């Protein structure tokens, strides 16, 4: 699908708990986007400040692409205040998609916070094929598990929080080994979330010789391969660029120790 820059009005903004917002946009034409791909997003009226677009994983594609945001700075703060009808500039679809889960292999998802976005998109796609992934989903507290209900409809979902306010208390990675043993046959792990979580997931998968794909998140200025602002160190000592070489990458190709 050709990448395009489109101006589109905000269709809806739904608060998801105290920290997150789900934003959907009303495009004139369908954009074929796949799970794992992302969009560069900014409000059309920002002028020179904030200057850059924000990279956001897609929760849905099509005519009404959807993103999940957490307020972390000025850009997301303004997005969280946007009213329906307000114009946004979106560049999409960008990056690659999650690789396919082969026949007879169980997909096991490990998500942290906002990392749920590309995995929910993927789970919905898998459902259409009759596949139901195992999904381990963790956050700091009960407020950091946005879209958990949506995810529970399309996966075998297990929740964890660091403070024990919801689900099992602990880090999401604690459940990964037991989950892989429980699956009992071949599994493929897909993970998206904070760097440290994905690093731990990658380590466990490497130890158990389970295939693992990670959806990377880094700062980026352009989203299409020219600013070179999103390098991620590879295990062979070079860099790949999250925007065009990813964001979905084989976890073994990444040097996770920063």
Partner 1 sequence: MESVSTMSPDQSVNIGSLALKNPVLTASGTFGYALEYDDFFDVATLGGVCTKGLSLEPRLGNAPNRICETASGMLNAIGLANIGVEAFCRDKLPTLRNRGVTVVANIFAETIADFVKLAGRLDRENGIAALELNVSCPNVDKGGIAFGCDADMSAAVTSAVKAATALPVWVKMSPEAGDVVGVARACERAGADAITAINTIRGAAIDIETQQPRLHHRTGGLSGPAIKPIALRIVWDLARALHIPVIGIGGISTGADAIEFILAGASAIQVGTANFVDPCAAQKVKDGIRTYCERRNLAVRDLIGKVRAP
Q: Does 140 bind partner 1 (CB under 8 A)?
A: no
**Closest listed residue to residue 144, CA positions, set 117, 113, 116:** 113
The residue among 141 and 234 lying less far from partner 1, judged by its C-beta, is: 234
For residues 191 to 230, the per-residue mask of contacts with partner 1, x marking binding by CB under 8 A and - elsewhere, is ---------------------------xxxxx-xxxxxxx
- Give the separation between CA 61 and CA 191, rounded to whole angstroms: 20
Nearer to partner 1, 49 or 128 (CB): 49
Burial zone of 63 (CB within 10 Å; 0-12 exposed, 13-18 middle, 19+ buried): middle
User: Whole-number minimum distance, CB 225 to partner 1, in Å?
Assistant: 5
Determine the size of the site formed for partner 1 (CB under 8 A). Answer: 30
Six-digit token pair at 238?
């070079």
Supply 54's token pair.
Answer: 């924000």
d(CA 122, CA 47): 34
Instruction: Tell whether residue 49 is a contact of partner 1 (CB under 8 A).
Output: yes
Q: Which is nearer to partner 1, 22 or 40 (CB)?
A: 40
- The answer to whether the CB of 58 falls within 8 A of the CB of 66 is yes
Which one, 24 or 53, has the nearer CB to partner 1? 53
Query: Diameter of the chain by CA atoms?
Result: 54
Site string for partner 1, 228-247 (x = CB under 8 A): xxxxxx----xx--------
Of the candidate residues 6, 11, 52, 80, the single one contacting partner 1 (CB under 8 A) = 52
Does 254 bind partner 1 (CB under 8 A)? Our answer is no
From 21, 42, 97, 188, residue interacting with partner 1 (rule: CB under 8 A):
42
User: Which are the contacts of 39, defined by CB distance < 8 A and separation ≥ 6?
Assistant: 33, 55, 56, 58, 65, 67, 90, 91, 92, 93, 94, 223
**Residue 226: CB minimum distance to partner 1, A:** 4
Alpha-carbon separation of residue 236 from 159, 232, 233, 255, 256 (angstroms): 35, 11, 8, 8, 12
For partner 1, which is the closer residue by CB, 17 or 231?
A: 231
Give the binding site for partner 1 (CB under 8 A): 2-5, 42, 48-53, 89, 91, 218-222, 224-233, 238-239
């Amino acid at each position: 699908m050709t990448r395009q820059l489109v101006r589109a009005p905000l269709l809806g903004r739904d608060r998801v708990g105290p920290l997150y917002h789900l934003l959907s946009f009303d495009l004139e034409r369908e954009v074929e986007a796949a799970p794992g791909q992302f969009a560069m997003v900014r409000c059309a009226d920002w002028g020179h400040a904030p200057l850059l677009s924000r990279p956001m994983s897609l929760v849905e594609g099509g005519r009404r692409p959807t993103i999940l945001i957490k307020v972390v700075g000025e850009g997301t703060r303004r997005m969280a205040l946007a009213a329906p009808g307000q114009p946004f500039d979106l560049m999409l679809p960008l990056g690659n998609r999650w690789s396919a889960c082969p026949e007879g292999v169980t997909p096991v998802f490990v998500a942290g916070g906002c990392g749920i976005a590309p995995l929910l998109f993927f789970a919905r796609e898998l459902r259409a094929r009759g596949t139901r992934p195992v999904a381990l989903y963790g956050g700091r507290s009960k407020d950091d598990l946005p879209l958990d209900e949506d995810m529970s409809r399309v996966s075998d979902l297990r929740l964890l929080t660091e403070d024990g306010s919801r689900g099992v208390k602990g880090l999401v990675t604690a459940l990964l080994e037991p989950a892989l043993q429980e699956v009992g046959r071949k599994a493929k792990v897909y993970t998206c979330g904070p760097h440290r979580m994905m690093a731990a997931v990658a380590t466990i998968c490497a130890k158990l010789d389970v295939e693992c794909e990670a959806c990377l998140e880094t700062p980026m200025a352009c989203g299409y391969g020219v600013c070179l602002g999103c390098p991620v160190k590879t295990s062979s000592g070079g860099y790949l660029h999250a925007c065009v070489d990813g964001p979905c990458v084989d976890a073994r190709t990444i040097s996770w120790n920063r």
